[in-house]
Amino acid sequence: MILVVLFAMFAVPPNTSASVENAVIVQPVANLYSNPSADADVVSQAIFSTNVGILERNADWLRIRTPDDYTGWIPSSSATKSKPYAQAGETAQVSSLFASLYREPDITKHQPVITIPFESKLELAGTPVDGRFIQVRLPDGRTAWIQAGDITKTLPTMTIPEVIEWSKRFVGLPYLWGGVSTFGYDCSGFMQMLYRRLGYVLPRDAGPQANWDGLKPVEKSDLQPGDLLYFGSSPQKITHTGMYIGDGQFINATAYQHPIVQICHLGDEHWTRLLVAARRIK
């Protein structure tokens, strides 16, 4: 059995005070900004139905903390104040790359109410209709219908060979700075997602991942499939990460040449020059 490892990612500990209000993300993906302005830089994202803690308010903005202990500002319209969502009762997660929700059990009568990314959680609100559609309850209290083939009750924990094969379904998805969803991943967000399937919770950013005490150093000559690769100008300035999949290849979300999730080769001079570390789960 794979051990689920928990960690403290940043110097600022999670705020466990009862005064912290819960909110639920209601957009397909919400950008987290460094400051309460759409002109500020994006530091991360939170996907639909994520429960977040409200740390601060500023006009039409909320400063939130995500479940992976990341903080940032979102427009207040991106979330609804609510009790924790999809934490009890019958729930499911989106297992397709994307899933559309409809106002009735029919995909032809109206446009989707919303289209949400892989891993979004949902509260089930009824039994399947014709074995195809299931009614769900949204964070804002509305109901909608989703095709049963787009969801699963649980996303299974996988072995490394299974994750490597499964990861290839994401090839061609966009690279997006700060991205954590199938609408666009950045390098560390993509590795976080893959390692969740292995049963591990990695830090959000590439540098903290490489320094995380749940990983151990690996020599390039000893690489095994599933090892994490880290790239940068030095071991102290890591800016990129990917997963080694064997035969000198690794899968990663990168803006290099083609801004997509892609399989690259360590023999490429660009990557050879930048590879500064490799890590393996202890």
Instruction: Give yes or no on whether 21-81 and 91-152 have one common fold.
Output: yes
Give the Cα separation of 140 and 228 in Å (integer): 39
* Residue 239: CB atoms within 10 Å: 15
- Any idea where the domains of the chain sit in the sequence? 21-81, 91-152, 160-281
Architecture of domain 21-81: Roll (2.30)
Q: pLDDT by residue for the chain (282 residues), tens digit each?
A: 333 333 333 333 344 445 789 999 999 999 999 999 999 999 999 999 999 999 999 999 999 999 999 999 999 999 999 999 999 999 999 999 999 999 999 999 999 999 999 999 999 997 777 789 999 999 999 999 999 999 999 898 999 999 999 999 999 999 999 999 999 999 999 999 999 999 999 999 999 999 999 999 999 999 999 999 999 999 999 999 999 999 999 999 999 999 999 999 999 999 999 999 999 999
Q: Is 91-152 a CATH 2.30.30.40 domain?
A: yes
Q: What class is the 160-281 domain?
A: alpha beta
Question: What pTM was computed for the model?
Answer: 0.90
Q: Tokens representing 80?
A: 């609804």
Give the Cα separation of 9 and 21 in Å (integer): 21
